[in-house]
Amino acid sequence: MRRILLSLVLLMLPALAMAQSVNVSVNVDTSKPGAEISRHIYGQFVEHLGRGIYEGIWVGENSKIPNIRGYRSDVVAALKNIKVPVMRWPGGCFADLYDWRDGIGPRAKRPVRVNVHWGGVTEDNSFGTHEFLNLAELVGAEAYVSINVGTLTPYDASQWLEYMTSDSKSSLANERRRNGRAKPWNVKFVGIGNETWGCGGNMRPEYAADIQRRYATFANTPRDMGTLKIASGSHDDNYEFAEVMMKNGGRFDGLSVHYYTVPRVFRDKGAATGFPEAEWASTLDHARHVETIVTKTAEIMDKYDPARKIGLYFDEWGTWYDQGPGSTPGFLYQQNTLRDAEVAALHLNIFHRHTDRVKMANIAQMINVLQAMILTDKEKMVLTPTYHVFEMYVPFQGATPYPASVSGGGYKNGDTSLPSVDVSAARGKDGKLYLSLVNLDPNRPAHVVTNLSGTAKGRILTGAAMDTRNTFAAPHAIRPVPFSGSSDNGKLAFDLPAKAVAVVAVE
């Protein structure tokens, strides 16, 4: 009998070891409030790519899929629910081959083009300027329009902006009226090109800075609209474009930076699901690298803009995996798992730590493309783990952040060492103190003791497997569930399960 008991205990040992908590301390310094968390860091990127727009959001008025003036009703409701603050459109690489005139007027008469960047499919332009700007209004988001500096002239950019925003009796404003829109739209952000170092024209940084100066001169809206101009900057660890743009790019309000998280390397990225633990760890490690990019870019910006008037706009970020089996080449469709939820939470926490510089971020991309909020399959829709993070983080929009430090614990896999827990703390617009807690360790729970007192209630997102995900067959496999804090010797504490993201309000 004793032998049987002993073998039973031995059998259970790995499980017991896995369940052993890591002890972590969190210190929130409420005496040092930082600059407000711009709600625009919760922005989305929407490109003419794959099923991001067509089917993802735009189905047309005659579709059997329930819609509001052509926009999927289910998707619009889901987007409103996460309070999307800003949408960037039409690209991406697509922007620098896009002629805005293709996308206005009666849809049946719009020209059909080839989308050379994304799968070589035909683009019938049924989603154009009116459809985008009306969508932004419907969702309650600001519009961020990227102008074409690669293949059109500054005159085209100037005309497009006049068409969208002029309240005059000009021919362009009247054309807009004839096309169904009486009032001008509010275009809050204008991107002067996209990735000028790559698909936007393969420019040299000095040439890109001149292009920026020239196009920005003519890319104007009525003065009282307060439109902000965003220069195309650098990417990853290449800082040359940021440096040269800051030095020579003339006047602009924001500097764009792009960074995608891949598990391995860009040419051999790794799979979205069914990955080994080493790729859980490397993906989170690569996601955390965004803090280095923000810090180094901010250092460059500080040299030329010590008063910090120019914002750092992280207008493309997110995970990028190898194309899944059976998916259309060039459509960048990928599944989205608990790992993506952690990547999202880590990015958002990092942006919260740099609010003096980071004024906007746009996850790539909103629907059916890369790290999407929403996946659709004809009439079906699934909210991804990333969506749930954005929804849980809504109280952080416009909140005032506090420094929060973490000590103790640690998670190691092979050569990758990560903290067990990442934390963000902020005072919400409703006056409550919010904490987000991310457990990066896929195996061990964390016992987190804070320097705060009181109680805390909120929700947590976690799952049994690293690639827990929602599918069209099981759309609610992963969603937030209630979570609350406890007390440890009078201090607010949390027992945070392995691989989890929690957001709580402290009372």
Torsion sign, CA atoms 310, 248, 98, 197: negative
Nearer to ligand AHR, 245 or 460 (CB): 245
Please count the residues of this chain forming the interface with ligand AHR, following the rule CB under 6 A: 10
| Minimum separation from the CB atom of position 195 to ligand AHR (A) | 5
Spot the catalytic one: 55, 195, 243, 279: 195
342 has catalytic annotation:
no
Tokens (6 digits) for 357: 């510089």
d(CA 148, CA 191) in angstroms, rounded, equals 9
User: Which lies closer to ligand AHR via its Cβ, residue 96 or residue 467?
Assistant: 96
Which has the closest alpha carbon to 367: 87, 10, 34?
87
Q: How far is the CB of 92 from ligand AHR (least distance, A)?
A: 3
Q: Which residue is nearest to ligand AHR (CB)?
A: 92
Does the protein bind ligand AHR through residue 364 (CB under 6 A)? yes
Q: Would you give the DSSP letter of residue 357? A: T
Q: Which is nearer to ligand AHR, 93 or 478 (CB)?
A: 93
- Within residues 44-63, the interface with ligand AHR by CB under 6 A covers 47
The answer to whether residue 93 forms part of the interface with ligand AHR (CB under 6 A) is yes
- 165 or 194, CB closer to ligand AHR? 194
Residue 290 — φ and ψ, nearest 5°?
Answer: -60, -25
**How many angstroms separate the most distant Cα atoms in the chain?**
94
Member of 92, 409, 480, 485 binding ligand AHR (CB under 6 A): 92
Per the DSSP assignment, residues forming a β-bridge with 235 are 238, 258
Residue 63 burial by CB count (10 A; 0-12/13-18/19+): exposed, middle or buried? middle
Q: Which stretch binds ligand AHR (CB under 6 A): 9-17, 52-60, 87-95, 215-223?
A: 87-95
Minimum gap (Å) between residue 259 Cβ and ligand AHR? 10
Of 435, 429, 448, the closest CA to residue 349 belongs to: 435
Clarify whether 123 is annotated catalytic.
Answer: no
Q: Per CB under 6 A, which of residues 242..271 are in contact with ligand AHR? A: none
209 CB burial (10 A radius; 0-12, 13-18, 19+):
buried
Give the residue with the Cβ less far from ligand AHR, 329 or 410: 329
For residue 132, what is the enclosing H or E element? helix 129-139
Catalytic residue among 279, 316, 342, 391: 316
Q: How many CB atoms lie within 10 A of CB 429?
A: 14
Between residues 97 and 493, which has the closer beta carbon with respect to ligand AHR? Answer: 97
Chain Cα centroid distance, residue 81:
16
Between CA 28 and CA 297 the distance in angstroms is 26
CB of 95 to ligand AHR, least distance (A): 8
Half-sphere exposure in the Cβ direction for 147 (13 Å, CA) = 32
By CB under 6 A, what part of segment 300-329 binds ligand AHR? 316
Residue 96 Cβ, how far from ligand AHR at the closest point, in Å? Answer: 9
Place of tokens 């090109």: 193
- Decide: is 195 part of the binding site for ligand AHR (CB under 6 A): yes
In angstroms, give the least distance from the CB of 233 to ligand AHR. 12
DSSP annotation of 471: -
Grouping H, G, I as helix, E, B as strand and the rest as coil, residue 126 is coil
Q: How far is the CB of 152 from ligand AHR (least distance, A)?
A: 17
Residue 194 binds to ligand AHR (criterion: CB under 6 A)? yes
Residues in touch with ligand AHR (CB under 6 A) = 47, 91-93, 194-195, 316, 364-365, 370
Any idea which residues carry the catalytic annotation?
195, 316
